[in-house]
Amino acid sequence: MSEQQAEPSSPVDAQDHAQQQRHRASQLAQAVRHELQKVLIGQDTVIDDVLTALIAGGHVLLEGVPGLGKTLLVRALARCFGGDFARIQFTPDLMPSDVTGHAVYDLQTEQFKLRKGPLFTNLLLADEINRAPAKTQAALLEAMQERQVTLEGRALPIAQPFMVLATQNPIEQEGTYPLPEAELDRFMLKLRMDYPDAGQELDMVRQVTRSTRADMLEVQPLRTLLQAKDVLALQRIASELPLDEQVLDYAVRLARATRSWPGLTLGAGPRASIALVRGARARALLRGGEFVIPDDIKGCALAVLRHRVRIAPELDIEGLSVDQVLKQLLDQVPAPRQ
């Protein structure tokens, strides 16, 4: 992924150069996917979605019952990534300053010094984010949106790339605080981790019980394939993938349809349209495509929309889920012909 190459001398050379860059970027992303699959068995869709968010420069909310490998996935990604990694365990007594940092008085210099919190990293695992009250959850908001943290009146930039992977247990569990809409909207994707099927679970148990760790797979054998500059290069190459005007229009139509769709009381805002396009470009790069197709938009639509809409109470009572309503919407909003 070296950027130190001679500039192309003609439009044809420039096109070939861009094509080669896309090809190398796609191979690198697929190599990372292969590494993650070694430790996360039966969660290929989730792996693809997390890599989509990484390439698109977005944040991810991972939901699932305990024990499905949410934290393992983030630790494995951190292992494949040579940048800085930090983990915050969210608890009911966690203070905002525990996340962002705080000013400490230095007796020797008789001045206040800023001590940066764990938020100043490339890859942040916010474990069980819905166990902390709203005030502490809000400490992440500025960092996620502005890529900076204000401490003692000073705006301190966070090094790029910066990605928050937050895990949460289902809201029905005791001792959890639902995330406010403003914070949910900052997450590009909300992913659900489900139980693996019988064959995959058998394979997982076989591998884990061979491991020296008590109940989890080792991430140490994974190769470090990405550095910070590689992730930034992947993000740049993905953002330059060609996108037809009809495909762009399709993304906007999908987001707008949620605002008047029967059964949804809250629709998705403009951030959803942006996330659909960014996610589609990342998916196209991940599959090795030369341009974005409608299926790339459709492939990330559920993960982009499910946390940005609210289902009507009467449908909730009937046992319908947000995903079921969104699937009906995806089936009925016409996609452009490829």
- Cα 247 vs. chain centroid, distance in angstroms? 22
Position 112 pLDDT exceeds 80: no
Asked if 243 and 273 touch (Cβ cutoff 8 Å), the reply is no
In degrees and rounded to multiples of 5, residue 180 shows phi and psi of -70, 155
Residue 48 to residue 33: CA distance in whole angstroms: 7
pLDDT of residue 174: 65
Q: Using a pLDDT cut of 70, give the percent of the chain over it.
A: 90
Quick one: pLDDT at residue 70?
A: 80
In tens, the pLDDT along 249-292 reads: 999 999 999 999 999 999 999 999 999 999 999 999 999 999 99
Q: Given this model, what pLDDT does residue 221 score?
A: 79
Question: What average pLDDT does the segment 7-21 reach?
Answer: 73
Q: Are 207 and 217 in contact, with CB atoms under 8 Å apart?
A: yes
**Residues of each domain in the chain carrying CATH 3.40.50.300:** 1-240
d(CA 68, CA 43) in angstroms, rounded, equals 9
Higher pLDDT, 11 or 297: 297
Q: Please give the CATH topology (third level) of the domain spanning 241-338.
A: Helicase, Ruva Protein; domain 3 (1.10.8)
Give the three-state DSSP class for 165.
Answer: strand
Strand segments (E) across 268-335: 310-311
Least confident of 71-75, 165-169, 206-210, 317-321: 206-210
Whether residue 52 contacts residue 45, with contact meaning beta carbons closer than 8 Å, is answered with: no
- pLDDT for position 73: 85
Residues contacting residue 311 through CB under 8 Å, at least 6 positions apart: 263, 264, 265, 320, 321, 322, 325
- Of 157, 137, 138, nearest to 147 by C-alpha is 157
Helix (H, G, I), strand (E, B) or coil at 124: strand
Q: Region 139-143: what's the mean pLDDT?
A: 84
Q: Two tokens at 76?
A: 């494995």
As to burial, measured by CB atoms within 10 angstroms (0-12 exposed, 13-18 middle, 19+ buried), residue 131 is buried
Residues 6+ away with beta carbon under 8 Å from 156? 114, 116, 120, 148, 149, 150
**Assigned superfamily of 1-240:** P-loop containing nucleotide triphosphate hydrolases (3.40.50.300)
Residue 323 is encoded by which pair of tokens?
């995903």
Q: What is the mean pLDDT of residues 83-87?
A: 88
**Which is nearest to 303 in space by CA: 336, 273, 264, 276?**
276
pLDDT at 74 over 70: yes
Assigned token pair, 154: 């000073």
Mean pLDDT of the chain, nearest integer: 86
User: Is residue 166 predicted with pLDDT exceeding 80?
Assistant: yes
pLDDT tens-digit readout, 193-244: 877 778 767 877 777 776 665 555 567 778 899 998 999 999 999 999 999 9
Looking at the chain, which residues constitute the CATH 1.10.8.80 domain(s)? 241-338
